[in-house]
Every structure is written in structure tokens, then in C-alpha cells.
Structure 1
């Protein structure tokens, strides 16, 4: 796997810049450019932004270059939603852990992880609101002839969430990433 310094050097050479020219255009010292290209230093924050502006590229182009493609990890990110069956809020916490530990070194993990965690929060709020309302109606003997509908809806929505997560995990293993259709 190539490093950030290799990518910066490759872009610098393709643009026809010497290290001195890049240093002048970016307002970064020549020594810093040399250290980055020799892998003695990794650019972060303002330094990375200045170098990218001087090279005319986005920071993501340089940083994603260093990311590997791993469909297995992304597949497990989807499958981790199913942990909500065994752990309270596991459908949020476990994908969150997968996302935070892999977002910088696995391609697309940041985008997919954000999407999954956001959707699991929304789905959990909706599903548990339905459960709480059904329990409230049951306790207060409201609508006794329709009382089981809330529980059926809760079970149906929760089941659909886990089935979709399983299906999306299978697709991710083949390199195709599905998004939840409700919340973008």
C-alpha cells in the first residue's frame, strides 16, 4: 500500500513541480515537503490543505489513495446491525464501532458507516415509539379491539430492518452497497 507522501510526490511530478516550487506555491517549507515525501512526516490539517490547494486536488484524493478496499469489513458492518437482536441498542453501537475503527483505512467505510448509524438511530426511535404507544394503549385500556396492531407493527418493522441488513450485508460482500431507502 502506498503512503500519502508517495501520492503527493506522484501528483507533484505529474504537474511538473519541483519540491521548491511546491513549497513556494503552498507556503510550506521545502524541508517539510521533503520529510513528507520520505515518509518521515505525514501532513495533517492546514499543511495538507495548503499542499492540496497548490497541487489543485482535493484532500480526499490523497487520503483515499491510502485506503484499501475490503468488502468483507463493509459486509460485516451491515451484518453488525443484527446484533440488536441480542444487545439493547446493539444495532446502533456495534455498527458505530465498526464505522469509527475503519473509516480512515477502508474505502467507503466512512460514507456507509454514517448512513447505517444515522438510519439505525431513526429506525430505533420509530420502532420503539410504536412499542411504547402500544404499551400505553394496553395499560390504559384504550382501543382494546385494535390493541395488538401496535405490537404487530413493532415486530414487522423490526423484522424488516434485520432482514434488510442481512440482505445488504450479502450484497456488500459482492461489492454492491445498498442504502436504506427511507432516510438518506
Structure 2
């Protein structure tokens, strides 16, 4: 592993924990200047310094030293396509990409950004689907006259239930497939609309 990658790794681990350089220095018992020199690639942590950093960052010395950013476009493509799990059960569109994101978010280039985008979109989609079901079930149970005012014959129109549902599913399929193809071709991706739940 080259020294530049090691400096980047220490910085990423620190920011991932939400630590400032000052906080890391305090927790590790190292001087602020030492932390700055490591992150600026002016020195390489070894021995006791490396152990202190690892303990403060809740990782192992090997993880700091051996880590490197790798690129794996096939993994990114797989992660994007995995969101289609929602076709079998809505929450699978969140659970499968979430699992793939957690496994490699600190190991592969692009996984963290892509994972957040997919998860924000899928969580937003599931919330919208959930709200739609509440709307329909509330209407079926006769909770309020709003439904009969908006859709006077909605109880007799099965299409009133299925058309929005089909549109929701088709839109998710379209967004997921288009982005998967774009990722496979090394192009930018865009999962919209989505609430910014994961930043």
C-alpha cells in the first residue's frame, strides 16, 4: 500500500467516525501535529502510533495498512440491479442493496455514494407505497368521506386501485434498470425523486 492511500485511509476512518483531528488526537493520545502529518502524507504511522490510531478508530492496524481503494464496476452494477428485489417484496429493494453497501462501502470506490443514492430512492419509494396502501385501506374501511368525494365510484373501480400501483412499480423498474445500464457503461447515475435520508 502506498503512503498516499494510507493517509487517505486514516482520514476516511476519522471522518467516518465524525471525529475532528483534535478529537482523534485526544482519543489516541497522539499530538495534533502527528495526526496532521499522517493525514498530509508527511509521515507513516508505525508501531505504537499505528496501534493507538487503530484503537481510537475502532479498527485493526492491518486494516489501516492493508487497505486500498479498489474499483469494481461489476459490483456497482450488481448493487444497482439488486434493488429489483422489490419486485418480490418491497423491503427487499432496501435490504439487498443495504447489505451490499455495508459489506463494501469502505472497500470499493463508488460503493458508498451509489449505495446512499439507491437506499434513499428505495426508502422513498417504499414510503410512498405504504402511504398509498394506507389511503386505499382507509377508504375501504370508510374512514372519512374524502374518498367518495374524490373518487365517487372508487369501490367499484378495481382499476382505481391497480393503475397507481402499476405506475409505482413500473417507475421503480425503469429507474433501476436505466441506472444499472448507465453504471455498467461507466456513466453517472441519478435516482430521483428521493428523500435525503442517508447523506
Structure 2 length-normalised TM: 0.61
Deviations 1:83-114 (A, max 9, x none): 11113400010010011011011101111101
1:3-152 to 2 correspondences below 5 Å:
5=3, 7-8=5-6, 26-27=33-34, 33=44, 35=46, 43-44=53-54, 66-140=68-142, 142=148, 143-146=151-154, 147=157, 148-152=159-163
Alignment partner of 1:173 is 2:175:
no
- Structure 2 distance, partners of 1:42, 1:66, is 20
Q: SS where residue 66 of structure 1 aligns?
A: coil
Q: Which has the higher helix share?
A: 1
Consecutive unaligned residues in structure 1, runs of 5 or more: 10-22, 48-61
Aligned residue number for residue 175 of structure 2: 164
1:7 to 1:67, Cα distance in 2 relative to 1, 3 A: closer
- Do the aligned residues in 1 keep the contact of 2:79 with 2:97 (CA within 8 Å)? yes
Consecutive unaligned residues in structure 2, runs of 5 or more: 8-29, 58-63
Structure 1 length-normalised TM: 0.65
Q: What is the root-mean-square deviation in Å for CA atoms of aligned residues?
A: 3.6
- Do the aligned residues in 2 keep the contact of 1:127 with 1:158 (CA within 8 Å)? no
Q: SS where residue 177 of structure 1 aligns?
A: coil
Q: SS where residue 27 of structure 1 aligns?
A: helix
1:74 to 1:136, Cα distance in 2 relative to 1, 3 A: same
